Amino acid sequence: MSEIYINEYSAVCNLGARIDEIFKNALNCGNGFFTFDSDIVRGKTFPLGKINIPLPEIENKVYNLRCNRLLLHCLREIDTKKLIEKYGRHRIGIVIGTTNSGADEYEKSGDIRHARIGNPAGFLKNHLGLEGYFSGVSTACTSGIKAFATAKKLIDTGVCDAVITGATDAVCKTPVFGFHSLEVLSQNPSLPFSKNRNGINIGEGAALFVLEKEPAKTATAVCGIGETSDAYHCATPDPEGIEAARAIEIALEEAGLKPTGINYINLHGTGTLSNDIMEAHAVHKIFAEKTPSSSTKSLTGHCLGAAGGIETALCCAMLDEKINPENYLLPHFYDGMYDDTLPVINLVQKNQKAQKLEYVLNNSFGFGGSNAAMVLRRVHARI
């Protein structure tokens, strides 16, 4: 399988306004980055991974959505002028994953364009004056990695020479009410894989990536992407994780790797009873308890359609020799009380380093039985 390369990337979430800040705060752990909100569900207070920094405004009312303002914040870290000069406006694609788009804004405005899944992708195309392919991707919590899959196909088939891909979602009332009605929204910071876990926290954020055929001086390679579907239940994953494991196996096969080649796994790790059962089975089936693994959702909250993008940015930062020269692994922050009814997985401790850090796996699993896994490789900086 041919590799494509992440040559630039940026992110924003409750942990920080820049990827280096986000990574540093993730290494330090702690759930002090949550906002305890009692305004959405009457009589209930929930920790939310809200972003509390000023965001740029968008003059065009069609696109002035919070999720697009998050993207615009990320775009400031990307050298789009150089990219356009290199490839031209018609050869650069846009693929953005989201689940909410502008659902909250639509409730107030009544403008159906605010609720369209393609609005964030359309915003970037319009803002940058591009003339090529653009699309939105919405496959629940796998949207961030599925956007990479679409972007890779565009480059592999020659439709685009480069693709700006990523994901964005803002805290929105509809999923907060929805997860509360499913009784999986926790009133405390989430505890993935703990015997005391009782649900998820909602977060928000965005991440952007520039994908090209050739690596820059510093880059991360996308080596393999696996996609499967459970066809099991609309809201509950197959507890055996059969198709989730197959998505991982496909990603490994495309990357030309055996399970022992993976040095770290970023788990989907939502902290719900059913998700953690499924993922523990899928990961243990392939990796046993050997590969260091962690979920970062106990720090960021579950950012829904943006989760896979933000977690990919965290993986890129971990592989980035400038940001992480000492090979620290992203820690698994929870109460330390592993659920011993689950197959054992090797959870990363705070301040744990990797002897070797070349390949990482990023998992995303979503409603409707959507499964996605992506293998990333460190590309050593070239002089």
Distance in angstroms (rounded) separating the CA atoms of residues 51 and 69: 12
Note if 380 is an active site residue. Answer: no
**CB-based contacts of 309: which residues, under 8 Å, 6+ apart?**
11, 97, 144, 147, 166, 167, 168, 205, 206, 207, 208, 209
Note if 141 is an active site residue. Answer: yes
Identify the active-site residue in 302, 303, 315, 332.
302
Contact 186, 199 (CB under 8 A): yes
**226: Cα separation from own chain's centroid:** 15
Identify the active-site residue in 268, 281, 284, 332.
268
H or E element at residue 346: strand 346-347
- Starting at the earlier edge strand, list the strands of the sheet with 202-203: 35-37, 46-49, 202-203
The candidate with the shortest Cα–Cα distance to 76, out of 99, 53, 102, is 53
User: Burial level of 325, CB count in 10 A (0-12/13-18/19+)?
Assistant: exposed
The candidate with the shortest Cα–Cα distance to 203, out of 167, 166, 174, 169, is 169
Distance in angstroms (rounded) separating the CA atoms of residues 102 and 18: 23
Identify the active-site residue in 13, 141, 172, 315.
141
Block residue for tokens 């744990």: 352
Block residue for tokens 């804004």: 105
Q: Which residues are catalytic?
A: 141, 268, 302
